[in-house]
Copies of this chain bind each other. A is one copy, B any other.
Amino acid sequence: MSPSIAHELAKKQKEISVSEFFEKNKQILGFDSLTRALITSVKEPVDNSLDACEDAGALPDIVVKVEKIENTEYRVTVEDNGPGIVKNQVPNVFARLLYGSRFHTRAQRRGQQGIGVSAVVMYGQLTTGKAAKVRSKISDEEVAYECELILDTKKNKPDKITEDFVIWDNKPHGTSFQVHVKGKYIGGKQSIFEYLKGVAIVNPHAKITFMPPEGGTIVFERASEQVPPPTKEVKPHPEGVELGEMLSMAKYTESRKMTSFLNTEFSRISYRVAREICDLAGVPQDQDPQDMTLEQAGGILEAIKKVKIMAPETDCLSPIGETLIRKGLKNVLGDLKADFYAPPVTRDPRVYGGNPFIVEVGIVYGGGLSSEEPVQILRFANRVPLMYQQGACAITQAIEAVDWRRYGLEQRGGQGIPFGPAIVLVHVASTKIPFTSESKEAVANVPEIREEIELALKACARKLKTHLNKAAKKSKTRVKFEIVQDIIPMIAEKSAKIVGKPVPDIAGTITKIMNVVWIEDEVAFEKGRHHVSVKAYNYTPKSQSFHLHMLVPYDKIDEKTLKAKPIETRDENKATWDVKRLGSTDVFELAFDLKGVPQEQYDESEVYVSGIDAASVIGCEVLPGDWDLEHLRITEEGVAEEAEEGEEGEVDYDEGAEVINNED
């Protein structure tokens, strides 16, 4: 082999600037097709605007304008009322890759990478040859700063084409970003409109105005005047920290003792725990962390696994919450009505690689949804709707891995996206979402996250299954009922006629054939009130005694409307009724109105029975033995909370309930 080959190859070796890399790999940043490029050009500045307003604790007011210039050239303008950006930072923020404020922060933000909006500027200049224009005003300046920027990709540095100070109407502060890009504007499923709608749903405190190229103005009004509580920055949770990371942290810490290093650099490590870790690992408590050896670091990681460390803080995360999940699902449904909203599931926070995260899942079923299509999947990450790369996303992969046949959906071979009239919504919130690429459209298949999504899906799917089982059982029994109630009287009548005797009382015969207690619940919403009713029909030949239990926010019950008082209430939403000696063919009814509960928070009553043989009850489930109903519980804020377990003793029934005679 000629010696010159290695030398020749060496000559070609050189460094590439990160901008050159992405200029040549613009598909990685979300510019792989003209349609997607235009959406990305809107998404990145909007995400930034929302983050900026949140950082400043302001209610976002964002205006998005998309104009068609010619053929495939569009002008995108995004204006916000955020705090503005100080003059000397503007060029770097908008025209330099890997430059930003949030990279080293462990907090739930939309932007994390310092790439997004600068990538849009770069894509714009690459495809249209035109510079981006940024205007920004901070509240202590009289005038706004405006400049035209391009990104010098060979150096990854901003290049200012023009700059000026301008009067910006009466705007007190804010930022406007304008760029020309090559794109294609479309409506439908993967469109700017759908993206903004998704943003509006999960950010109800934001007002978003959209001026599409075809003219007109669409306003997504603010649904809430409350700025969401700011999510806190946190230190890494010790779980999942890597060996090399530990060594590097020890090298750069300002602490001079192992215990203070562990306490200062990690969340959830108290001095007591820090000492325990050092002892377990055999590392002196007062050793300088800079002297930590590879073996010591390994020992400390092992010790961390063994000591009891608290779960991560939750105030660094901002889940969407039950109400908004329902609202989001309803919004996607549009005019279609669903039969059933499974109560959304919010899992407890967990940790991957030191980053806390939380998973939420909601499912709707039936109604106008098609049963001949795959279920619709709605993906959100840190309150941003994910529009592309569905197949690459751990959310989709988790959905494909669940055997949905067990939960009442069709799925060939128990894998793949199931078919059925359902929408599945999944939200992952984290101080750091592990996206599969810089375009931030798919969550990577990190085992901890994947597992949590599957568990949340299954928990929510179980509720769907309960509903479907109940519906199936009811409909089957109803058919039987109808047959029995139609045919037996006819036989009786016919027989009586033939033998020339009077028609016998056949109620007893019917109950003997049916032999069930039939529970029927109804919820109707009218003028701000839920009319709730539960009826128990005794279609057995004997009289029956049992308890009915309901999950209901009983402090919202309008006392005047209450028909049959519960014998016991507790935990804010657990209520029990006593049904005593309900005669054969009699019916027991409990009914009441709820006041001040948002419509979507109470679609269906959760009713359970106890004290009766499960096989003879149709229409509701048997009370779980421990009444461990934490996931089913609805509180005032509509957020699932952990129920305190094991505090309940024996239920003490002390009051009878009203019994209505069916024959009245």
Which residues of A are at the interface with B, using a C-beta cutoff of 8 A?
Answer: 1-3, 5-7, 9-10, 12-18, 20-21, 24-25, 27-28, 32-34, 36, 52, 55-56, 58, 83-86, 88-89, 92-93, 96, 98-105, 113-114, 125-130, 138-140, 172-173, 182, 242-247, 294, 297-298, 372-374, 389-393, 396-397, 412-413, 415-417, 419, 432, 434-439, 442, 444-447
Leading 10 A-B pairs by shortest Cβ distance: A391-B391, A392-B392, A3-B140, A437-B437, A27-B444, A12-B101, A126-B244, A6-B138, A5-B83, A32-B444
Selected contact of A56 from candidates B5, B14, B419, CB within 8 Å = B5
A435 lies within 8 A of B28 (CB): yes
Give the shortest distance, in Å, between A578 (CB) and chain B (any CB).
Answer: 50
Known: A14-B101, A125-B244, A392-B436. 6 other contacts (CB 8 A): A3-B139, A14-B100, A34-B447, A128-B243, A389-B436, A391-B396
B3 lies within 8 A of A33 (CB): no
Give the shortest distance, in Å, between A445 (CB) and chain B (any CB).
Answer: 5
B16 lies within 8 A of A445 (CB): no
Q: How far is the CA of A247 from the CA of B114 in the complex (A)?
A: 26
A13 lies within 8 A of B92 (CB): yes
B446 lies within 8 A of A27 (CB): yes
Which residues of B lie under 8 Å from residue A442 when comparing CB positions?
A: 392
Residue of B nearest to A128 (CB): B243
Which residues of B lie under 8 Å from residue A89 when comparing CB positions?
A: 10, 13
Which residues of B lie under 8 Å from residue A397 when comparing CB positions?
A: 391
Q: How far is the CA of A52 from the CA of B5 in the complex (A)?
A: 10
Which residues of B lie under 8 Å from residue A245 when comparing CB positions?
A: 126
B417 lies within 8 A of A416 (CB): yes
Give the shortest distance, in Å, between A168 (CB) and chain B (any CB).
Answer: 14
Q: How far is the CA of A416 from the CA of B412 in the complex (A)?
A: 12
Q: How far is the CA of A444 from the CA of B298 in the complex (A)?
A: 39
Selected contact of A445 from candidates B33, B99, B172, B415, CB within 8 Å = B33
B113 lies within 8 A of A21 (CB): yes
Which residues of B lie under 8 Å from residue A172 when comparing CB positions?
A: 1
Selected contact of A55 from candidates B9, B24, B34, B102, CB within 8 Å = B9
Contact A99-B14, Cβ < 8 Å, known A28-B438, A416-B374: yes
Contact A1-B419, Cβ < 8 Å, known A9-B101, A16-B114, A129-B247: no
Q: How far is the CA of A104 from the CA of B11 in the complex (A)?
A: 13
Selected contact of A1 from candidates B14, B139, B373, B391, CB within 8 Å = B139
Contact A13-B99, Cβ < 8 Å, known A1-B172, A3-B138, A21-B113: yes
A128 lies within 8 A of B33 (CB): no
Looking at A18, A85, A88, A172, the one whose CB has the most chain B CB atoms below 10 A away is: A18
**Interchain Cβ contacts under 8 Å between A and B, 18 examples:** A5-B55, A9-B52, A13-B93, A15-B96, A15-B98, A15-B114, A16-B103, A21-B98, A21-B114, A32-B434, A33-B446, A34-B447, A126-B242, A129-B298, A374-B415, A416-B417, A436-B439, A437-B438
